[in-house]
Amino acid sequence: MNFIETRGNDGIKPIEVPFSEAILNPSTSFGGLYVPAYLPKLEENFLQNHVNSSYKELAYDILKAFEIDIDESEINKALALYDNFDNPANPCPVIKVKKDLFVHEQYHGPTRAFKDMALQPFGSILSSIAKARNEKYLILAATSGDTGPAALNTFKNKENIQVACLYPDGGTSDVQRLQMVCEDGKNLKVLGIKGNFDDAQNALKQLLASQTFKDELKKDNIKLSAANSVNFGRIIFQIIYHFWSYIQLLKENEIANGDKIYLVVPSGNFGNVLGGFYAQEMGVPIEKLLVASNENNILTQWINTGIYDIRDKALKLTKSPAMDILKSSNIERVIFSLCGAQRTKELMEDLNKNNIFQMSENETKNLQKYFSAVDSDDTFGTNTIKEFLDIGYLMDPHTATCIKAYNTLREKNLKTVIYSTAEWTKFSPTVLNALNENDTKYSDKEALEEISSKYDATLPQSIKDLFHSKINHSLVIDKKDIEAEIVKFIRES
């Protein structure tokens, strides 16, 4: 299968590229993104036939359906990394918490967040291609807290790979920051920036599109790629676990094959829910994708009105910081699927130039066939964390936003899966405030210790070790200095 561009072709770049090229060089015409030329339709009994499959077996069959140009041995090597998760056969368990409510726990990998589900195998595949081609790559990552640790972990000490990771100083939890700044791989550079995640992501996109920057890297025979979900290498692995959600309900006889379900996804950059959209298009019986936002409710506004307006919008720092995003990259891929390349180019150019775009009434109605959205505030989140611990389930503040969607957006009485994208350990002060019903400012360390002892919650050794680890990356810089610092890192490595 080949990949095409969301904003059409400029007559310079190839009209179509294979998967390997799309993930190595994700920069496309007019600043767009790569998408599959088509989505594979799986056979009628695909879901039922995988009821007794392991996650790796399911993933392998879905990747083969995309006909990606990656050697079978490299695919199996990448998928074998799920053996490093808490339960290799079931790396992302689906847990029943109410009669019709299930939590898909996506945080059982090395960095305790859902980004491991895609970045572990993606990093392996990208590294193997670079090595086979004898090419050197700089991988850029911008993070609101979870992509950074996962990207650094998967690419650490990989041959032919260097990584520069940008995070907003003060915009992540302490645990997330420590997971990045304590990394000791010789091929890694972590830079705090004075700004927010949108600033970090915009810097990444500008560098990916900058011929001057690419020419500078070329002097050292280095090419440029990205670990963010602008790279379809991330998205293809994010499709798989939505199939897993459905199959687990089949396996437990909670649904019959063909029954529809709701999926609820806490959304920031829209990559996770995009994977659900693609899974639905490939044949998973999803009634609707319910999008949960925090007070940075730009996605709720877009889905409910067709208007994406960030004029005069100031990013709010909330208790669910991985969702503190105003410019969500992956809405572009949904717009392309629904409206085509020319319209996508028009809308994205409006957003880039004027900080607003407006879809037509028919376009908005079509969007709403697939998605509904709602937002919640920090008070709702903390109340929800307390409410669910009282019935025996401990969740993080991002998962808590899903409950608003579960409570208010379902139009039918269908089984519902919400996505838990991070372990409680990543945001322990917020969780402890919720459980103790106070506003005390706890350090991450004391919150982790109190929750683990008082509520008998497991504290992974990797999280404990962070507080005794050496900080190897302490630099915090202005946005204007990002390119110079990265070039300096390349030259000194």
Give the pLDDT of residue 59.
98
DSSP-derived secondary structure letter, 374? E
What confidence tens digit (pLDDT) does each residue in 393-414 have? 999 999 999 999 999 999 999 9
Burial 420-453 (b: 16+ CB within 10 A, else e): bbbbbbbbbbbbbbbbeeeeeebebbebbbbbbe
Give CA–CA dist 331/367, Å, rounded. 11
In this structure, are strands 286-293 and 161-168 parallel, antiparallel, or unpaired?
unpaired
What confidence tens digit (pLDDT) does each residue in 147-189 have? 999 999 999 999 999 999 999 999 999 999 999 999 999 999 9
Place of tokens 């909330």: 318
The answer to whether residues 229 and 330 touch, using CB atoms and an 8 Å cutoff, is: yes
Give the residue from 176, 374, 171 showing the smallest Cα distance to 265. 374
Position 202 in a domain: no
pLDDT < 70 stretches in the chain: none
DSSP-derived secondary structure letter, 83? G
List C-alpha distances in Å: 329 to 124, 319, 401, 484: 24, 22, 21, 25
Place of tokens 């919720």: 434
For residue 420, what are the domain limits?
Answer: 90-111+233-466
- Residue at 92: amino acid letter: C
List CB contacts of 214: < 8 A, sequence separation 6 or more: 223, 224
Give CA–CA dist 368/70, Å, rounded. 36
Give the pLDDT of residue 493.
78
Question: Which helix (H) or strand (E) element contains residue 448?
Answer: helix 444-454
Place of tokens 């998973």: 284
List CB contacts of 311: < 8 A, sequence separation 6 or more: 354, 355, 356
Give the pLDDT of residue 410.
98
List C-alpha distances in Å: 159 to 46, 122, 153, 191: 37, 15, 14, 21
Give CA–CA dist 328/325, Å, rounded. 7
Q: What is the reported pTM?
A: 0.95
Position 22 in a domain: no
Give the pLDDT of residue 44.
87
Position 74 in a domain: no
Give the pLDDT of residue 450.
96
Give the residue from 154, 188, 213 showing the smallest Cα distance to 27. 213
Phi-psi region for residue 355, left (φ > 0), alpha (ψ -120 to 50) or beta?
left
List CB contacts of 64: < 8 A, sequence separation 6 or more: none
Give the pLDDT of residue 137.
96
Helical residues (DSSP H) of 221-270, grouped into ranges: 232-251
Position 106 in a domain: yes
Position 78 in a domain: no
Domain count, the chain: 1
Give the pLDDT of residue 350.
98
What confidence tens digit (pLDDT) does each residue in 324-336 have? 999 999 999 999 9
Position 279 in a domain: yes
Position 340 in a domain: yes
Position 326 in a domain: yes
CATH code assigned at 376:
3.40.50.1100
